[in-house]
Amino acid sequence: MADRSRRVAAWTAGALVVLAAPVSCGTGGGPPVASDRPSASAVPTSADSPRSAVPSESAASPGPGTRTETGHTRRPAPRCRTAGLSAAVGRMDPGAGQRNLPIVLTNVSSRTCTLHGYPGAAFVDAAGEQLGRDPKRAPGDAATVTLAPGGSAWAGLRYASPGVSGARAATPAALLVTPPDERDALRVPWRAGAVPVSGTSSSVFLTVLRPGSGP
C-alpha cells in the first residue's frame, strides 16, 4: 500500500512538471499569444519587396525629349529669321558670257537655326524701286542647312553678261536679299556693275541654298 502511494505521488509530481512547462515559455507569465505580425526575418527587404517589380521613373519608357542611357531626343533647330542674319555678295566668277556671284547668308545670332530652299532677291535703284523682274529658280534639290552661330550658307546668282546678250542693262544701287520663308529683306550694296533688266536674255537665276560661303 505504501508502494502504491509512492507511485501515485511520483506520477502526480511528473504531471505537474509537464503542465508547468508551457507556462515557463510565456513572456508575461500566461499562455503565449499568437501574433499576425511577421518576424523581422520574414519581412521582405527592398530587394525582395514586390515594389521592386514596378519600374521606377528612370526605368520607364522615355517620353518626348527625355534623356536616356543611349542618348536623348533633340528638337529641330528653329528657322533662321532675318533679324538674326547678315547678307553679302561674294566675288564674281565670270565665264563664257555668264556672271556668277554667291549670295551669302551668315548666322549672326547666338543660337543655331536652319535655312531651307531658295532666298529671294531683287535689284533696286537708289530710290528703292525694283530693276527688272524677280530672279527665276534654277532647278535643284532643296535641303535644310543648319547654321551654328557664325555659320554661313550661299546661293548662286547667275545672269548673262549684258554686253554679250544685248539685253537692256542698268546698274543697281543694292540687292535686296530675303531669307527663305521671311518677309523682311536684307539690303546689300551692289558693286558688280550693270545687270540685265529687260530684253533678250535678261533672266536672272538663283540656286538653292547650300552650306558654306561660296563654290
Burial category of 99 from C-beta neighbours within 10 Å (exposed 0-12, middle 13-18, buried 19 and up): buried
Is the pLDDT confidence value at 21 over 50?
Answer: no
Q: What single string gives the DSSP state of each residue in 15-39?
A: HHHHHHHHHHH-SSSS-----SSPP
Percent of the chain with pLDDT over 70: 66
Contact criterion met (CB below 8 Å) for 32 and 26: yes
pLDDT digits (tens, 9 = 90+) for 84-131: 999 999 999 877 889 999 999 999 999 999 999 999 999 999 999 999
Question: What class has domain 82-211?
Answer: mainly beta
Q: Where in the chain is the domain with CATH 2.60.40?
A: 82-211
d(CA 215, CA 206): 14
**pLDDT tens, 168-215?**
999 999 999 999 999 999 999 999 999 999 998 899 999 999 999 998
Q: What is the mean pLDDT of the chain?
A: 77
23: confidence class by pLDDT, cuts 50, 70, 90: very low
> Which class for 38: exposed (0-12), middle (13-18), buried (19 or more C-beta within 10 A)?
exposed
Block residue for cell numbers 521606377: 56
Range of lowest pLDDT (47-51, 146-150, 169-173, 180-184) = 47-51
pLDDT at 27 (0 to 100):
42
Residue 43 scores a pLDDT above 50: no
Place of cell 505537474: 16
DSSP 8-state code for residue 44: -
**Sequence-separated (6 or more) residues with CB below 8 Å from residue 171:** 190, 193, 194, 195
